[in-house]
Structure formats: C-alpha cells, structure tokens
Amino acid sequence: MKEIWERFEAWIDRYANLLLDDLNGGAEEEHFEPIEKAIRSELPQAFKEFYRIHDGQYSESEEGLIDTHILLPLEQMLSIWAQLRHQFDEGAFDDLESEPQEGIRMEWWNPYWLPLTTDKAGSFIFMDFAPSRQGNLGQIIYMPRDSAERILLAPSFEAWINRYVRHLEEGHYRYSERMGGIIQKQRLNGVSDDSQHSFWHDSENDDLEGFEVLKEE
C-alpha cells in the first residue's frame, strides 16, 4: 500500500496539488477496532495498511479524491454507518427495492456494508462483508443515489484502489474545482452519472484519450 500511496500522491501533486492538504495523517491500530466491532468483521490487511498512511480526507473536505467522492476518514465511516444502521433498525429501508448485481445481497442496505466514500449527495461506495454466495468477502460495491442498483466494482479493496490509481496514471481522470475534485474525463465530456460505475470496472476503457489539464473558466 505504501507504493500505491506514493503513486497516488505523485498524481495529486502534479495535477491536483491543493488536495494534498486534504489528506489526514495515518490511523493508529486502535482506530480500526470500533469499526471491526460495529461490523463484526475483521478489516482486510490491505485496507489497514492503506489507512495507516493516510486516514482518508478531512471530514469537511469539499473536493473528492475518488471521482468527486470524498475518501472517508475512519471516524466518519463509523458515523455514517451508525446513521444507516439506525435507519435500518427503524425499518426505513424495508419497503425499498434493490437491484443488485451478482454477488451482492438483494437488500437496499446491509449492516455489514462499510462506507468508504461518498459524494455527499446520497451515493456511496461500500466494502461489503455480507456478500451473496457468488460474491467475495470484502468486495467493493457502489450505491448510486436515487437508484435501486447495487453495482459490484471489485472483488477486494486492494484490487479496487490499485485499479483506480492505475486509471489516474493512464490519463482517464482530470481535476476540476468546478466539478468537485478528481473526475472522469468522460463525465466532463457529457456522460451522465448513470454510467459512472461502468468505468470503475476493467472494461472498455483502454481507448480513452490521455490526460489533459482542465482549464477552469
């Protein structure tokens, strides 16, 4: 994970250096324990190694490191999880439809889904500790706002963050203050949020143009 962060920070420093100031210091071992207790699961080693270097972004950050999503610090992960858990226990999600991809349980939200990122508008990326039989423990899933879709992004945290950093280096993202941080070039070119998740897979994206610095108006 050290090498991943070195590459991630090198890209940020070159193309979005103001965001370097948004990074928290590293998490301590005791910071993971409340989360593991809440979700009754052991966090993956790769996740812990990643967060020991930087504990996400400042909680008040307005610009996202992960395609306009804020990379949540551990404390905020737990806070959002607790809010969702309260709503879950109150039955707020009982009548809501879910359209999960294979490997994800057919639920609107599950108490074993840990929020990793948010766009602060209702979309989240979760680490899933309660997959279906076809899924993988600790897989990464996307919950778009105002949608029943539950989309499988990667089989593990390590696979997901490795792919994201590689896509940065391959030139598929820009920094845009106007759009709220680091964002896919195809979204800047008019592709809707509805197709956002498709880019997070290793799919049909090798033919995208290289990186160009976005000129703000």
Domains defined for the chain, CATH in brackets:
2-191 (3.40.1580.10)
Query: How far is residue 53 from each of residues 105, 155, 178, 206, measured CA to CA in Å?
Result: 32, 22, 28, 30
Cα R_g (the chain), whole angstroms = 17
Q: Give the Cα separation of 174 and 75 in Å (integer).
A: 28
Q: Which residue has the higher pLDDT, 72 or 214?
A: 72
Q: Give the Cα separation of 215 and 7 in Å (integer).
A: 24
Q: Give the Cα separation of 92 and 79 in Å (integer).
A: 18
pLDDT at 208: 32
Q: What is the pLDDT of residues 181-197, one digit of tens each?
A: 999 998 887 655 444 45
pLDDT at 24: 98
Number of residues that make up the chain: 217
Instruction: Average the pLDDT over 54-82 and give the result.
Output: 96
Checking if the pLDDT of 212 tops 50, the result is no
Instruction: Average the pLDDT over 43-66 and give the result.
Output: 96
- The whole-chain average pLDDT of the chain stands at 89
Checking if the pLDDT of 210 tops 70, the result is no
pLDDT at 186: 87
pLDDT at 203: 43
Instruction: Average the pLDDT over 13-20 and give the result.
Output: 96
pLDDT at 191: 55
Q: What is the pLDDT of residues 74-114, one digit of tens each?
A: 999 999 999 999 999 999 999 999 999 999 999 999 999 99
pLDDT at 114: 99
Checking if the pLDDT of 174 tops 50, the result is yes
pLDDT at 200: 52
Q: What is the pLDDT of residues 107-149, one digit of tens each?
A: 999 999 999 999 999 999 999 999 999 999 999 999 999 899 9
pLDDT at 209: 33
Q: Give the Cα separation of 115 and 40 in Å (integer).
A: 15
